[in-house]
């Protein structure tokens, strides 16, 4: 069971979300073309950029391999892009892999032993690596050496293998999940923040130029405001708006076209999509704004607990529309305003908002 804005069961699922910050197949192909190639082109993240610039310049001046770098932050904020920039700035090749792809220490040994001197190894979702691989990584990061275990049981022997110096760039959405011994082995940790609307506008205008799309300032602002602080979402919305502009108009994007296009895709002025609004709508209309338990809320929107908790809530909390309290989920005054409803304590109209529609 699913609900639309008016609390009606639509029977649809909420997959394939346009505002999902994770990559999909289409993203990865277009993203390659839209990726900034150096630190100057990389928009925003001033602090991380400035610090990283120093780390890389100093390493270059010493003729040394750059220190290991840990990048933390939500999906789609530019961790992969930054790792590629690190490699480019160090004039080094890059190898890209991810924690879930390395389940055995042997997988990691095979990658490490084939690295060239100075190569950048980008390990996405580093917090999802297996324990034995993680322990092998400690020694590799610190001493550029691994012990390869040959054989099994009492006859097993450890053969030390020297590695060329390399730079590990680890990326994680949850730096807090990394065991301290791993975290401590990074020489530099950069935390990526969500982007301000003005920064997203710069990302969008840059992408529009690369995609050869005519976009005016107001159109850019309209898309930026719905992009949830995330460049990946901004680029995806731009592409959908471009489709609309081509089919319904003359290809040019202004505020009106951007708003109409994103209306078609049900991404509202604040970047909420149908799932977000369904969660918020249920909380307001069925439970008077809460507090209500997560499980009850999930049943009300016909979704898994995890989907509500991990997919919808983080953005609603970040936007100040929903609060997680010990007594349950509670809507904020901004949530009532956003859905155009009146809180029940403010008079009779609220009851209409609560149980009507």
Ligand X SMILES: Nc1ncnc2c1ncn2[C@@H]1O[C@H](COP(=O)(O)OP(=O)(O)OP(=O)(O)O)[C@@H](O)[C@H]1O
Alpha-carbon torsion, ordered 269, 275, 278, 284, to 10 deg? -70
Contact string (CB under 6 A) for ligand X, positions 199-218, x = contact? ----x---------------
Nearer to ligand X among residue 196 and residue 269 (C-beta): 196
Closest approach of Cβ 210 to ligand X, in Å? 9
Residue 80 annotated to the active site: yes
Residue 232 annotated to the active site: yes
Do 238 and 213 meet the contact criterion of CB atoms below 8 Å apart?
yes
Which residues, 22 to 81, sit near ligand X by CB under 6 A?
22-23, 31, 34-36, 42-45, 75-81
Residue 144 tokens read as 């550029």
Rounded CA separation 82/170 (Å): 11
Residue 79 annotated to the active site: yes
Rounded CA separation 23/27 (Å): 6
Question: Does 118 sit near ligand X (CB under 6 A)?
Answer: no
3-state secondary structure of 101: helix
Question: Does 122 sit near ligand X (CB under 6 A)?
Answer: no
Do 19 and 233 meet the contact criterion of CB atoms below 8 Å apart?
yes
195 is in an annotated binding site: yes
DSSP 201-262: HHHHHHHHHHHT--B-HHHHHHHHHTSTT-HHHHHHHHHHHHHHHHHHSSS-B-HHHHHHHH
Residue 37 annotated to the active site: no
Closest approach of Cβ 222 to ligand X, in Å? 18
Nearer to ligand X among residue 75 and residue 132 (C-beta): 75
According to DSSP, the residues that pair with 331 across neighbouring strands are 322
Do 339 and 280 meet the contact criterion of CB atoms below 8 Å apart?
yes
329 is in an annotated binding site: yes
Nearer to ligand X among residue 127 and residue 232 (C-beta): 232
Closest approach of Cβ 177 to ligand X, in Å? 14
Binds ligand X (CB under 6 A): choice among 231, 281, 302, 353: 231
Do 29 and 308 meet the contact criterion of CB atoms below 8 Å apart?
no
Question: Does 235 sit near ligand X (CB under 6 A)?
Answer: yes
Residue 124 annotated to the active site: yes
34 is in an annotated binding site: yes
Rounded CA separation 230/222 (Å): 14
Nearer to ligand X among residue 128 and residue 329 (C-beta): 128
Give the nearest residue (CB) to ligand X: 78
Residue 270 tokens read as 């604040």
Binding site for ligand X (CB under 6 A): 22-23, 31, 34-36, 42-45, 75-81, 124, 203, 231-232, 235
List residues forming the annotated binding site for ATP: 34-35, 76, 79-81, 142-144, 185, 195, 232
List residues forming the annotated binding site: 34-35, 76, 79-81, 142-144, 185, 195, 232, 305, 324, 329
Which residues form the catalytic set?
79-80, 124, 173, 232
């Amino acid at each position: 069971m699913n609900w639309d804005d008016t609390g009606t069961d639509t029977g649809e699922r909420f997959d394939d979300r346009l505002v999902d910050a994770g990559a999909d197949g289409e993203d990865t192909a277009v993203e390659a073309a839209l990726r900034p190639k150096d630190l100057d082109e990389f928009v925003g993240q001033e602090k991380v950029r400035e610090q990283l610039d120093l780390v890389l310049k100093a390493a270059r001046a010493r003729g040394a391999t750059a220190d290991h770098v840990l990048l933390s932050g939500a999906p789609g904020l530019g961790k992969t892009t930054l790792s590629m920039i690190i490699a480019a700035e160090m004039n080094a090749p890059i190898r890209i892999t991810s924690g879930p792809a390395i389940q055995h220490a042997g997988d990691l040994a095979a990658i490490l032993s084939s690295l060239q001197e100075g190569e950048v190894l980008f390990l996405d979702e580093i917090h999802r690596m297996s324990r034995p691989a993680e322990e092998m990584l400690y020694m590799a990061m610190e001493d550029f050496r691994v012990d390869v275990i040959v054989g099994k049981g009492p006859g097993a022997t450890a053969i030390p293998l020297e590695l060329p110096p390399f730079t590990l760039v680890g990326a994680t959405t949850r730096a807090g999940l990394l065991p301290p011994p791993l975290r401590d082995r990074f020489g530099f940790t950069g935390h990526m923040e969500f982007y301000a609307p003005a920064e997203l506008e710069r990302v969008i205008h840059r992408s529009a130029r690369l995609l050869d799309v005519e976009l005016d300032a107001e159109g850019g602002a309209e898309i930026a405001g719905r992009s949830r602080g995330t460049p990946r979402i901004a680029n995806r919305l731009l592409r959908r708006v471009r489709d609309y502009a081509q089919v319904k108009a003359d290809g040019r994007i202004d505020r009106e076209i951007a708003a109409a296009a994103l209306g078609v895709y049900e991404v509202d002025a604040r970047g909420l999509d149908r799932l977000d609004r369904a969660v918020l709508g249920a909380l307001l209309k069925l439970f008077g704004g809460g507090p209500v338990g997560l499980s009850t809320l999930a049943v009300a929107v016909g979704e898994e607990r995890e989907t509500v908790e991990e997919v919808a809530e983080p953005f609603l909390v970040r936007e100040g529309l929903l609060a997680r309290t010990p007594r349950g989920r509670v809507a904020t005054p901004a949530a009532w305003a956003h859905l155009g409803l009146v809180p029940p304590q403010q008079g009779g109209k609220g009851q209409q908002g609560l149980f009507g529609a």
